[in-house]
Amino acid sequence: MLEIMTPMKTADAKDVLPEPARKGDPEKRGRKASKEVRQQQLIEATIDSLAKRGYSETTMADVADGAGLSRGIVNFHFESKDKLLVATLQYMADEYAAHWRAALTRAGEDPAHQLRALVAADFDRSICNKRKLAAWCAFWGEAKSRPTYQALCGARDAAYQKIFIDLCATLKESGGYAYEPQVIALALSAMLEGLWLRLMMGTEDVTRESALQAANAFLSAAFPKHYA
């Protein structure tokens, strides 16, 4: 979704893990599975560990155990924890981007429908669930000190934000609004990020449905001629 994240930002099939290896024969099953299947399984196990333990407490051993594979297989595919985490962040960023782009395509040519679709996409269960939100937050906490993470999210965030700005500019022209497109797009993005954070923390009575309702209320307030 969301712009830090963003976002950061389809994915249902990816959320399903391949069948874990049976105890006693992980190496045999590991040799038979394709490289892509094993890497996907390890990335999903990494997301699980980040959500459960956080960034610093996640280890290669945790990922191996979570995937039901040997530690040797983890090292074979990713060599180090850093490489595994970069691959996981890249996967999540790609998944989020594919998700919002698909939503944009399905919305058709109407810019008001497109903007509403982008907002709704952020609260789809395949993207917006506690497991993935917690993993995103784990990465956000490290992004400031890790240029690689900033680089991975930066280009995608810029493209995502440009879509928001362009849509806000189009709605301004057709509706005769007085706002600056960059400002209102930034406000919208910040609101979406904040709703994700509240959902992740679980400290208030906020659900995906109530968060989407709040986001739609923002659209109605900002663009009253387009969203009754």
Q: Look at residue 39 and tell me if it is in a domain.
A: yes
pTM beyond 0.95 = no
Both tokens assigned to 2: 């969301």
Distance CA 11, CA 14 (A): 5
SS3 7: strand
Provide the number of structural domains found in the chain: 1
b/e map 177-200, b = 16+ CB within 10 Å = bebebeebbbebbebbbebbbbbb
User: Residue 67's Cα: distance from chain center in Å?
Assistant: 21
Question: Could you report the per-residue pLDDT of 41-84, keeping only the tens digit for each?
Answer: 999 999 999 999 998 899 999 999 999 988 888 889 998 999 99
Domain that holds residue 169: 13-222
Distance CA 153, CA 97 (A): 10
Question: Could you report the per-residue pLDDT of 122-138, keeping only the tens digit for each?
Answer: 999 999 999 999 999 88
Instruction: Report the CATH number at residue 50.
Output: 1.10.357.10
Q: Look at residue 102 and tell me if it is in a domain.
A: yes
Q: Look at residue 70 and tell me if it is in a domain.
A: yes
Q: Look at residue 21 and tell me if it is in a domain.
A: yes
Q: Look at residue 201 and tell me if it is in a domain.
A: yes
Amino acid in the structure at residue 112: A
Q: Look at residue 2 and tell me if it is in a domain.
A: no
Q: Look at residue 8 and tell me if it is in a domain.
A: no
